[in-house]
Structure 1
Amino acid sequence: MKGILGRKVGMTQIFTETGALVPVTVVEVQPNKVLQVKTADKDGYQALQLGVQDKRANLVNKPGTGHFKKAGSNPKRYVKEIRGMEGFEQGADITASDLFNAGQFVDVTGISKGKGFAGSIKRHNYHTGPMAHGSGYHRGVGSMGAIINRIFKSKKMPGHMGHEKVTIQNLELVTIDANNNLMFIKGSIPGPKNAFVQIRENVKGKNPTEAATILTRNAKPTTEAAPVAEEQA
């Protein structure tokens, strides 16, 4: 299992040489630092602990400072483990180009946007009641079940909506901009702008496709101004 950590920048659109428009999400993937290597013999499972984006040293407690120092790294803002990943040593830097190729399918995990307190119709996709004036019941919760002076567990009711861990599978990685540490993933991914996400190889075994050739905009040539002839006396 290969994976890397990144930060969602926003959405845009790119064009292929065939003229197809592709909506993509731009993910900034700075080089990930390997903070810890976990093995089956010592820890009971195989994993790499990765960190991305530096933060101020005064925001880290002493145990955390020692942990980052052991890996020879600055304190990182986003730290996650990628299980089943191996092949890198502690303190190594991992880039998106080291793990992924254009045309590959990936799974993206993040924290979805928070919607606050929501009713059962919006939160659980319930049907509304009759919207005529005489019904008197439009967007209610519905039946509470048997009358036993309590609510059964798992009853779908109004409450907090969103801000939960969400994984979207089999998203196509359109292209990688190694110079600017950017990944362009087709479609939308969880979370608001500037949210951290995990990008891992897909687990459902969807085969990679042929990478599309992206249409790039050429820079306009600079034309020097013609010299002005001196006026003859």
Structure 2
Amino acid sequence: MLWRTHFPIGHAGLLGQNLKSKLQHSLFSTTAILARAKLPQEKERFKPEVTELKLGTYTSNSRRTGVIARKVGMTGMWDEWGVRVPVTVLQLDNVQVVSILETSNPGLARLQIGCGTRKEKNVTKPVLGHFKANGIPPKAKLFEFPITPDAALPVGTEITAAHFVPGQLVDVTAPSLGKGFQGVMKRWGFAGGPASHGNSLSHRVPGSTGNINPARVYPGKKMPGRMGGKNVTVMRLPVMKVDTALNCIWVKGSVPGHDNQFIKVRDSIKIVKHCLFPEGAAVPFPTYIPGESAQQPREVIARAGGQDPLIPASD
């Protein structure tokens, strides 16, 4: 070979030894650096142990679990003053605690909640094994909710509509209605171009999207694209009525998603100038327990209170 004529064998061997020593030196130095470095230690995992379901005392620092409900549809109801209120009906369908998950924060736990039913043939084997290990029938939907350790529930506990108190505030989360690919006027509310004479085929266009320098479009520019189909959270919606027979709750206002959509409902976490629960209400903590909690009638309606808004105030 030609390289042997230019580089003697001894010289090539010397180059190989130097390269080997350099590699060993770099390896040893890297090992020493890693040994001296203080690597972060893995945090201990925390999992509350709950063996029996019993009533507790609710505090301002407590956080109860949320539930999964199905959106039945919208309707209207009348409060005690005869004012019509638009409401959305949410039904709790076989809501159960599937498992208690581990966390790295000892002051916070997570519950896995399941809703609905599903045939075993329509569930994958790993998921089916997870249900059988916990002794729970297959569920149609699973979600996780953060809770405080004092609000932990045993596996298999059923959560009903009596978990909520009429008049309390809740946060609802669900995917919004998907509207496909839309332009800037519908997606972002642009005004569009002028509709007078001389404007040709530029009535609904977005207009300029950038400058000469830099010759690019800035990230986050409002452009045409897919609209909807993303998780939306509507906060601080009052619970107007609880039906323990139909296992439904009436929530004031609109809720994202289509009918029969799975909705996550939880106690409101953003309290501004409002109380989470009505004054003097008996909060079922950690949830409503038949036989131990106060007996509830079939329908419990929230009271508007105050003065009749239909009668003008006297001077």
TM bracket (short chain):
0.7 to 0.9
Moved more, 84-93 or 203-212: 203-212
- SS at structure 2 position matched to 1:36: strand
- SS at structure 2 position matched to 1:130: coil
Contact 1:110 / 1:165 at 8 angstroms: preserved in 2? yes
Question: Greater Rg, structure 1 or structure 2?
Answer: 2
Q: Who is 2:270 aligned against? A: 204
Q: Who is 1:222 aligned against? A: none
Contact 2:96 / 2:115 at 8 angstroms: preserved in 1? yes
Runs of 4+ in 1 over 6 A off after TM superposition: none
Q: Who is 2:111 aligned against? A: 48
The structure richer in strand per residue is: 1
Q: Who is 2:206 aligned against? A: 141
For residue 87 of structure 2, the aligned residue among 24, 44, 69 is: 24
C-alpha displacement of 1:144? 1.6
CA-to-aligned-CA distance 1:80-130 (integer Å, 9 cap, x gap):
001125320112111121x31000010000010011110011111112111
Letter in 2 for 1:124: W
Partners of 1:172 and 1:44 lie apart in 2 by 28
Pairing 1:88-127 to 2, within 5 Å after superposition: 88-97=153-162, 99-127=163-191
Letter in 2 for 1:202: S
Identity %: 39
Letter in 1 for 2:159: I
Contact 2:161 / 2:243 at 8 angstroms: preserved in 1? no
Structure 2: segments with no counterpart, 5+ residues: 1-62, 280-301, 305-315
* TM-score, with length taken from structure 2: 0.63
Contact 2:117 / 2:139 at 8 angstroms: preserved in 1? yes
C-alpha displacement of 1:42? 9.2
C-alpha displacement of 1:48? 0.3
Letter in 2 for 1:91: G
Contact 1:4 / 1:96 at 8 angstroms: preserved in 2? no
Higher relative contact order (CA 8 A, sep 6+): 1
C-alpha displacement of 1:45? 5.0
Q: 1:87 to 1:66 in 2, by over 3 A?
A: same
Alignment root-mean-square deviation, CA: 2.0
Contact 2:210 / 2:216 at 8 angstroms: preserved in 1? no
Partners of 1:124 and 1:81 lie apart in 2 by 32
C-alpha displacement of 1:39? 3.7
Moved more, 66-75 or 31-40: 31-40
Aligned residues: 212
Q: Who is 2:5 aligned against? A: none
C-alpha displacement of 1:41? 5.6
CA-to-aligned-CA distance 1:123-148 (integer Å, 9 cap, x gap):
11112111112233311011120235
Q: 1:43 to 1:64 in 2, by over 3 A?
A: farther
**Does 1:186 find its partner at 2:252?**
yes
CA-to-aligned-CA distance 1:159-205 (integer Å, 9 cap, x gap):
10001000000101001101101110010000011100000111112
Partners of 2:156 and 2:90 lie apart in 1 by 23
C-alpha displacement of 1:71? 2.0
Q: Who is 1:174 aligned against? A: 240
Pairing 1:64-103 to 2, within 5 Å after superposition: 64-84=127-147, 86-97=151-162, 99-103=163-167
Partners of 1:53 and 1:90 lie apart in 2 by 16
Letter in 1 for 2:72: V
**Does 1:151 find its partner at 2:224?**
no
* TM-score, with length taken from structure 1: 0.84
C-alpha displacement of 1:33? 1.1
